[in-house]
Amino acid sequence: MAIVAPSFLASNFLQLQSEVDMVNESKAAWLHLDVMDGRFVPNISFGLPVIEAIRKATDKICDVHLMIEEPGKYAEAFKLAGADQLTVHIEACPHLHRNIEQIKALGMKAGIAVNPHTPIDFLQDIIEDVDLVNLMTVNPGFGGQKFIEHSLVKIRQLRRMIDEKGLNVEIEIDGGVNLSNAAQIIEAGATVLVAGSSVFGAQDPIAAIATLHAL
């Protein structure tokens, strides 16, 4: 069964409590929280106060995805805000191993996010140190984009790398995931589905989550 991580970038911020309540009642195991700084990506989302508020309203895993420059400066603050796992971008971290060690030392699970243009081979020397890889299947910065089809090739490559090394690393797919392509994504080797508009824009979000979870 897939781990479903509804992306709160697509939620109704005016109804944040009820959106969290809905996810709490659903089969989703994670809440995916995107932090954008307007520098690493061309958009600004939300930050520490919102994550603190969401943390108080749920017992589920807060999966925080930092789309920011210099993430090492803020790792401790995100831990204090309630992040259970923290994902940083390989493209934003010239000293990636140091970032991963910092996240783990703070008591969080550590993830690496990879943009659509970044080769999977770049993970070869760090994959054994992380708990998850977030494969961006759209260009980061905005919700509601179309899934990049070539990403299926990258998912298979990553699945092969993880299996060959005998690792237990989650493959999280982030961008354009919906009820039409989710089965194909899982078949390629993914274990976590980040779903934004396909959940929060659904007529019945809890049923949409249940369908994704059953894959």
Is 172:5 a contact under the CB 8 Å cutoff? yes
Q: Was 204 annotated as part of a binding site?
A: no
Q: Was 141 annotated as part of a binding site?
A: yes
Q: Was 143 annotated as part of a binding site?
A: yes
Q: Was 175 annotated as part of a binding site?
A: yes
Domain 3-213 coded CATH 3.40.440.10:
no
**Residue 84 among the catalytic residues:** no
Q: Is the pLDDT of residue 188 over 80?
A: yes
Is 132:111 a contact under the CB 8 Å cutoff? yes
Q: Was 32 annotated as part of a binding site?
A: yes
Question: What share of the chain has pLDDT > 90, as a percent?
Answer: 93
Q: Where are the domains of the chain?
A: 3-213
Give the pLDDT of residue 142. 67
pLDDT tens digits, 19-36: 999 999 999 999 999 999
String of DSSP letters for the chain: --EEEEBGGGS-GGGHHHHHHHHHHSS--EEEEEEEBSSSSS-B---HHHHHHHHHH--SEEEEEEESSSGGGTHHHHHHHT-SEEEEEGGG-TTHHHHHHHHHHTT-EEEEEE-TTS-GGGGTTTGGG-SEEEEESS-TT-SSPPP-TTHHHHHHHHHHHHHHTT---EEEEESS--TTTHHHHHHHT--EEEESHHHHTSSSHHHHHHHHHT-
pLDDT tens digits, 48-101: 999 999 999 999 999 999 999 999 999 999 999 999 999 999 999 999 999 999
**Residue 34 among the catalytic residues:** yes
Among 59, 129, 174, 204, the active-site one is: 174
Among 34, 37, 63, 131, the active-site one is: 34
pLDDT tens digits, 111-163: 999 999 999 999 999 999 999 999 999 987 666 678 888 999 999 999 999 99
